[in-house]
Amino acid sequence: MTSPSRSKAWQKLASHYLNLHQNGTTIASLFKADKSRFDQLQCQLDGLLFDYSKNLVTGDTLARLRDLADEAGLRDAIAAMYRGDKINTTEERPALHVALRTPLKDADPAFNAAVNKTLAQMEAFADKVHSGAWTGYTGQAIDTIINIGIGGSDLGPAMVTAALQHWQLPGIRTFFVSNVDPAHMRMTLSNASPETTLFIIASKSFSTLETHQNAALARRWYLDNGGDEKQVSKHFVAVSANVPRAREFGIAEENIFPLWDWVGGRYSLWSAIGLPIALSVGMKQFRALLAGARIADEHFRDAPFEKNIPVIMGLLSVWYGGFVGATSQVVLPYSQELHLFPAFLQQLDMESLGKSVEVDGNRLLVPSGLVIWGSAGTNGQHSFHQLLHQGTHYIPADFIGIVNSHFEADTDQHHHLLANCFSQSQALMWGKSQRQAFNELLAQGMAEAPAYALSKHKVIPGNKPSNTFLLDSLNPQTLGTLIALYEHKVFVESVIWHINAFDQWGVELGKQLGEKLYGALKADTACDSFDASTNGLINHCRGHE
Ligand code: F6P
């Protein structure tokens, strides 16, 4: 791996961008110059199309970006990940989420054995819950699943469960509680009965404050509402890499689903952390999700870089962040079922790439990690798209469209959704010149002087880049493929930036300080041991409780 600041390809890309800029190259001009641009700059992969033609890149740009990948040692890095090398260097662990969805030939067979055993355990458990053989303390079948977890133990399974609601099994409702705000758990519990509710305590470390607090609250609620203390094990199961801590909490050994330190939290939805998915849609669909991810894994490992979707995605993000000046990237699924996808990607991308030290401990001298944000279309069009079109920030966009809706009776309405998805990327690219705006106003009957004045405000600069994913339909397989493509895209960026995508030391400080401040909030004496602002906030709360 080479540091980007010492990379020759990086320097060449910097001067290449200057040339493009000085020549006034625009995305629209590239389309005008090459009628086959769409055919050249798209890839297809089992039910998924990736169109990256609306980017500010020429063939030369892409070739230089691939040189950067070569110089950074991307090929070797991919091989090292699949081999199970300890690529998470600061924690001395492999990052083997790919082993969760495929038997890995090159990796230690122990990984495959552990994965298969856990899948069988999940299947047996899901079968019991679905058949009604698993009952609560009064002998009734389970109808409510409440997953208690946060970060990777929440966002992935919550996003997938929402995305696959078309496959939701009858008789089961699934909720996700993450926030330590008791309102989250209390509001969720107001829909539940202790006799028929199953809690999954999902925590890789089993030491996360929010999850502990919520699990304790759930247990209190269960007992306070008639739950039988001796039958707690019928209502609480756990997923964790820390079996002793889960046992200490009172979870029966046979109800603890294992997780391993070689699976990062934000890459864990494919493991037993996916148990709420399996309970919601069935193990068959969960396996189809894994199969979809496997398609992306094989593609990432084997496809040449010219046609390798995660490699292209990652290189484009590096291009915009490193050379063109973007600091954020917006993700716009035109699918209500995918409304949680941006939130999931925020953790995947920003917890992985929000680093400023290279793997060898040197300070990173180029910008890394774009801010990821977004929401489901078309809603965003009526809130933040204004800033995308006319604001001063340069924000590349990822659009995700679904060709066939699950609601066949509403195909016409679905076409409005797709038309809006395409029109937004078109508007971002083409924009509107002042002349166009002026002529439109004249055509509407406005006099020249006011039309000229108003036309200045109607200019849309355009030349804003976007990718578009089109899924033939949103199903477990295509969803699995889409998620895994993004996982690998993040890895590509980390290799170029020479950073470790699999640790997250930055979250520790806030947790440590939080414990101290909790003590201060509970103390009897006035708080004066922190900075004036923190002391003031704590004393204000205590004075108003
Ligand atoms: O605080 C960040 C984090 O460590 C994430 O990386 C992780 O997904 C989340 O907390 C939850 O951790 P756990 O599964 O160990 O409770």
Pairing mode, if any, of strands 197-202 and 236-240? parallel
DSSP classification of residue 346: I
Q: Are 1 and 495 in contact (CB under 8 A)?
A: yes
Kind of pairing between the strands at 371-373 and 328-333: parallel
Give the C-alpha separation, 144 to 155, whole Å: 19
- For residues 84 and 107, is the Cβ–Cβ distance under 8 A? yes
Q: Provide the pLDDT for residue 107.
A: 65
Q: Burial of 212 by CB count in 10 Å (0-12 exposed, 13-18 middle, 19+ buried)?
A: middle
**Exposed, middle or buried, 195 (CB in 10 Å: 0-12/13-18/19+)?**
buried
Number of H helices, E strands in the chain: 22, 11
Q: Catalytic: 382?
A: yes
Q: What is the residue-wise DSSP string for 42-111?
A: EEE-SSEEEE--SSS--HHHHHHHHHHHHHHTHHHHHHHHHHT---BTTTTB---GGGGTS--SSS-HHH
Residue 467 has pLDDT above 70, yes or no: yes
pLDDT of 442 above 80: yes
Q: Known catalytic residue: 8?
A: no
Question: Are 337 and 404 in contact, with CB atoms under 8 Å apart?
Answer: no
Q: How far is the CA of 460 from the centre of ligand 1 (A)?
A: 42
How many C-beta atoms surround the C-beta of residue 436 within 10 A?
Answer: 15
Closest atom of ligand 1 relative to the 202 alpha carbon: 14
Residue 524: per-residue pLDDT: 86
pLDDT digits (tens, 9 = 90+) for 155-213: 999 999 999 999 999 999 999 999 999 999 999 999 899 999 999 999 999 999 999 99
- Using DSSP's 3-state secondary structure scheme, residue 432 falls into strand
Q: Pick the catalytic residue: 415, 511, 516, 540?
A: 511
Token pair for residue 422? 């395409």
343 alpha carbon – ligand 1 mean position (Å): 15
pLDDT level of residue 3 (50, 70, 90 thresholds): confident
Q: Which residues pair with 372 in a beta bridge?
A: 329
Residues with CB under 6 A from ligand 1: 150-153, 203-205, 208, 211, 265-266, 351, 504, 507
Residue 108 confidence (pLDDT): 72
Q: Does residue 351 have an active-site annotation?
A: yes
Q: Would the pLDDT of 309 be above 90?
A: yes
CA of 213 to the centre of ligand 1 (A): 14
> CA-CA distance, 173 to 362, in Å (whole number)?
49
Contact 403, 469 (CB under 8 A): no
Neighbour-count burial for 497-536, b at 16+ CB within 10 Å, e otherwise: bbbbbbbbeeeeeeeeeeeebeebeeeeeebeeeeeeeee
> E strands of 280-404, at which residues?
328-333, 371-373, 397-404
Is the model's pLDDT at 274 over the cut of 80? yes
Mean pLDDT rounded to a whole number for the chain: 96
pTM over 0.95: yes
Confidence of residue 104 (pLDDT cuts 50, 70, 90): low
DSSP label of 498: T
Tens digit of each residue's pLDDT (9 = 90 or more) over 334-358: 999 999 999 999 999 999 999 999 9
**pLDDT one-digit tens code per residue, 514-543:** 888 999 999 989 999 999 999 999 999 998
Query: What does the pLDDT look like over 35-62, one tens digit per residue?
Result: 999 999 999 999 999 999 999 999 999 9
What's the pLDDT score for residue 102? 78
The reported pLDDT for the residue numbered 191 is: 86
pLDDT digits (tens, 9 = 90+) for 117-166: 999 999 999 999 999 999 999 999 999 999 999 999 999 999 999 999 99
Residue 106: the pLDDT is 63
| pLDDT at position 105 over 70 | no
Tokens 């109800």 belong to residue: 255
Cα 536 to chain centroid distance, Å, stands at 37
Look at residue 185 in the predicted model and tell me its pLDDT.
Answer: 98
Look at residue 17 in the predicted model and tell me its pLDDT.
Answer: 97
Q: What percent of the chain has pLDDT over 70?
A: 99
